[in-house]
Amino acid sequence: MGDILEFFEQMGFLNMTLQQGIMLLLSFFLLYLAIKKQYEPLLLLPIAFGMLLTNLPGAGMYHSELWSAFLDANSPAYHSYGTIMREGGLLDILYIGVKAGVYPCLIFMGVGAMTDFGPLIANPKSLLLGAAAQLGIFLTFLAANSMGFTEAQAGSIGIIGGADGPTSIFLTSKLAPELLGPIAIAAYSYMALVPVIQPPIMRALTTKKERAIKMSQLRPVSKTEKIIFPIAITTIVALILPDAAPLIGCLMLGNLAKECGVVDRLSKTMQNELMNIVVIFLGLTVGATATASSFLDWSTIKIMVMGVVAFGCGTAGGILLAKLMNVFSKEKINPLIGSAGVSAVPMAARVSQQVGQEENPSNFLLMHAMGPNVAGVIGSAVAAGILLTMLG
């Protein structure tokens, strides 16, 4: 009889708190969005399932208290991975990859192996649009400070404006790990909502005539240029900004493997197997950090609001700079491609193409928008490196 009672006492149903119940419902909702609505399903599905696992009472797959002790200088478990391995659950052990900043870099390697930097090399001015779109990061940093977040937390919130999931996770795991769950979910949710968030801003900031501008064809880029590009960028950026080296280095390593043509097996592995495995681990563990105690908080709502502001400011920054460039440049550029300067590859470039074709169906902006789009990836990694240097 005692055993039966003990069994019932250990049941999750009896130990569940209201907050955990709400989190489980939220995870079901995110699973619905991922499966039915297909909002970034590759990441949202593991994130939502991680959220489900971590909020199951008694399952013990993730222990936020262990990670709090890991960060507490007065605790015997301070920076002790041994304690995590000994006392942690499955998700704690997988989370070490996030904590050490390994997963985001490996994902960047895959992103590099799948990205064609040709449009950027053909039109280097695209880098300016990618830089201007980082305005959202810094304006949101300012706003988050005024809302009572610490500078480190504000920097992590601001990086949502870079529209780059791995970069957001990388920076947040270093500066404000306690906000990792809400920030990752905000970043990926808004990336999925790029086709909803950007077009109204694009239409509001441009005239019909500007949206109909046709751009001349990009010059062909030689293989030599494509091979030298990742080597040159890594060297220059890492020498100027060493904190950006892990992200930029991995991005460019992946790209070099793709472009050099002699390591096809490595390139394919980076693009497929490695990328997919890391996405599963990253999604699950980031979802696991969204425990009821850390997620159901006013700061989560503030982060969600500021995430939209960051996206909007980034989009506006790119478009406004494109308009400014048109004032000084002989060869006109369509300001719609400026909005692609927020990373979100290739979704943001597709949105530029769609909005451009609404005005002029014979206008093809996709390849032109890919330049600022991949420039945005470099720009957000650089911005993360700068924030890490200044606030870390």
Partner 1 sequence: MMTPLVINWSHVWMVTGLGFCMVILLLVVLIFILKLLGAVVSNAVKAPKAAQPKAVAAPAAQAAPASAQASADDDLAAIAMALHLYFNGVHDVEPTEIHIKRVERSGWNSKLYGMNNLHR
8, 14 Cβ separation under 8 angstroms: yes
Tokens 């909803």 — which residue?
Answer: 196
Judged by CB under 8 A, which of 56, 225, 238, 263 binds partner 1? 225
What x-and-dash track marks residues 175-214 binding partner 1 by CB under 8 A? ---xx-----------------------------------
Indicate whether 44 belongs to the interface with partner 1 (CB under 8 A): no
Residues 88-147 that bind partner 1 (CB under 8 A): 120-121, 124-125, 127-128, 130-132, 134-135, 138-139, 141-142, 145-146
Structure tokens at 130: 């990618």
Indicate whether 11 belongs to the interface with partner 1 (CB under 8 A): no
The separation between CA 280 and the C-alpha centre of its own chain, rounded to angstroms, equals 15
Indicate whether 266 belongs to the interface with partner 1 (CB under 8 A): no
The separation between CA 58 and the C-alpha centre of its own chain, rounded to angstroms, equals 31
The separation between CA 49 and the C-alpha centre of its own chain, rounded to angstroms, equals 19
Query: Which DSSP state fits 217?
Result: P
What x-and-dash track marks residues 234-253 binding partner 1 by CB under 8 A? --xx--xx------------
Residues 6+ apart with CB under 8 A from 231: 252, 256
Residues 6+ apart with CB under 8 A from 20: 55, 56, 57, 292
Tokens 């304690």 — which residue?
Answer: 83
Compare residues 335 and 379 and give the one whose CB is closer to partner 1. 379
Phi and psi, residue 304, nearest 5°:
-60, -45
Indicate whether 153 belongs to the interface with partner 1 (CB under 8 A): yes
CB of 392 to partner 1, least distance (A): 12
Q: How many residues bind partner 1 (CB under 8 A)?
A: 49
Please state, in angstroms and rounded to a whole number, the distance separating the CA atoms of residues 184 and 188. Answer: 6
Indicate whether 232 belongs to the interface with partner 1 (CB under 8 A): yes
Which residues of the shown chain bind partner 1 in the complex (CB under 8 A)? 120-121, 124-125, 127-128, 130-132, 134-135, 138-139, 141-142, 145-146, 148-151, 153-155, 178-179, 222, 224-225, 228-229, 232-233, 236-237, 240-241, 294, 297, 299, 375, 378-379, 382-383, 386-387, 390-391
